[in-house]
Amino acid sequence: MHKFINEIKKFEGKPFVISNFLNKDEVGSFRKLYDNLPIEINNKRQNIVKKKWSIEFNKELQNIYNAKLKTIIGNFEMDNPDTKEGSKSLGLFQESYKPVNLHVDTGFNFEKKIYKQTLLPLSNEGETVIFKNRFYGCSTTFSIDPKELSAKGYNKRSSEHLMLFGSKDFNEDIYKKYLTHEDINNLKGLEVEFIFKWKIGDLLVFDRSNLHCSSKNINEKKLGFTSSTKKI
């Protein structure tokens, strides 16, 4: 578990959206950056392509992004995994055709004061479901599927969330509308706080301790960029 949970909680709040965080030209710059970055992960099982924004790429856009983000969430430091070449990164581009399952992005260093996570849609295709439930262990994909639990990946695989949040059945209406790609029994004890409908250039901000996942409503490829931060 994270060492500074009480301090982390002082900076937590409800998810919120900044409309038109990027203007049209900046969106174009992000898409061009994505095209120019090397592929980090091509997960054919999940049909996902991931690219990390190395600090070696597009310094001017880095300055714009960081300055805009600072006006919204205050002082922070980036806290994203390094690229496979060992460079620091500002976050992760993810191109996918399938929904991303229930997980949390709390990192693996329990000495850090994890802070905000951001999601920047670069397509209008997609929805992100944020749950009220929070977790302060390491980055984890939560599942009751034996195949998923035995799969290898960056995140730990676990079903321990089912012991943390009670056994209340998940809301069936929300399940049918957004989450049928998940086993409803994997959602026991969970309660939705916010559902973000993707819009190009908007920015979703939420706490890194929030459990979250994609909705099932994907009809074509979606592309987004996420950053994780910590408090200085």
- The per-residue pLDDT for range 187-213, each reduced to its tens digit, is 999 999 999 999 999 999 999 999 999
- The model's pTM: 0.94
Which pLDDT belongs to residue 7? 95
Q: In the prediction, which pLDDT does 131 show?
A: 98
pLDDT of residue 41: 86
For 60, residues 6+ apart whose C-beta sits below 8 A from its C-beta are: none
> What was the pLDDT predicted at 213?
97
Low-confidence stretches of the chain (pLDDT < 50) are none
Please name each of the domains of the chain with its CATH number. 5-230 (2.60.120.590)
